[in-house]
Amino acid sequence: MQDAHRLTFEDSSFDVTHAHQVLQHVADPVQALREMARVTRPGGLVAARDADYAGFAWWPRLSELGEWLRLYRAAARANGGEPDAGRRLLSWARAAGLPDVAASSSTWCYATAAQRAWWGGMWADRILESDLARQVVDDKLATTVDLRRISSGWSAWAASEDGWFSVLHGEILCRVPES
């Protein structure tokens, strides 16, 4: 397993380096991007895509999902991460010394019955049985009763034929400068 802050690869090892949903979890995303640039050949590409939790939107507007989002963001920040990383990718790339950056965004949308069953089911389970669940209970941000209620909210959202959930992502493509 690699440490994003200190990659074990030699300089200029790759034509492209890509981090998908990674930088939101690391303590120093600027250093991680510097490392990605270091291991990418001059003229190569560094690419990253990360969610922006503050930009998530859903219907029906269930309070349990709002509570889930608040807990997730608090836990991510307590772990040294940044759940709203998507909007910061451009500034992080520039801070990492990458001058040629194209920024964009995209979304995932969960609206079909199958998509809602997967997304809602995953979060209904994860809020009960995961490191996240243990952390928010241990940190006294929520009780197990709260988590069961939030899980039920996810299940109710997934069962709603009007259910819709959009996940906003920030994206960057960075050309590594020629030496």
Q: Provide the token pair at 76.
A: 């991510």
Give residue 80's pLDDT.
Answer: 95
Give residue 123's pLDDT.
Answer: 98
Closest C-alpha among 22, 176, 158, 8 to residue 96: 176
Share of the chain above pLDDT 90, in %: 98
Average of per-residue pLDDT across 67-90: 97
Radius of gyration of the chain (CA): 18
Give residue 179's pLDDT.
Answer: 75
pLDDT per residue over 91-102, tens digit each? Answer: 999 999 999 999
- Residue 64's CB is within 10 A of a number of other CB atoms, namely 19
Whether the model clears a pTM of 0.75, i.e. scores above it, the answer is: yes
**pLDDT of 85 higher than 80:** yes
pLDDT per residue over 108-159, tens digit each? Answer: 999 999 999 999 999 999 999 999 999 999 999 999 999 999 999 999 999 9
**pLDDT of 1 higher than 80:** no
- Residue 98's CB is within 10 A of a number of other CB atoms, namely 23
Q: Report how far residue 166's alpha carbon sits from residue 51's, in angstroms, rounded to the nearest whole number.
A: 11
Closest C-alpha among 117, 2, 136, 137 to residue 69: 136
The answer to whether 63 and 153 are in contact (CB under 8 A) is yes
Closest C-alpha among 12, 58, 16, 27 to residue 4: 27
Name the 3-class secondary structure at 45: strand
Average of per-residue pLDDT across 161-174: 98
Give residue 165's pLDDT.
Answer: 98
Mean pLDDT of the chain: 97
C-alpha atoms less than 13 angstroms from C-alpha of 71 in its C-beta half-sphere: 28
Name the 3-class secondary structure at 107: strand
Give residue 52's pLDDT.
Answer: 97
Q: What angle do CA 40, 41, 42 make, to 5 degrees?
A: 120
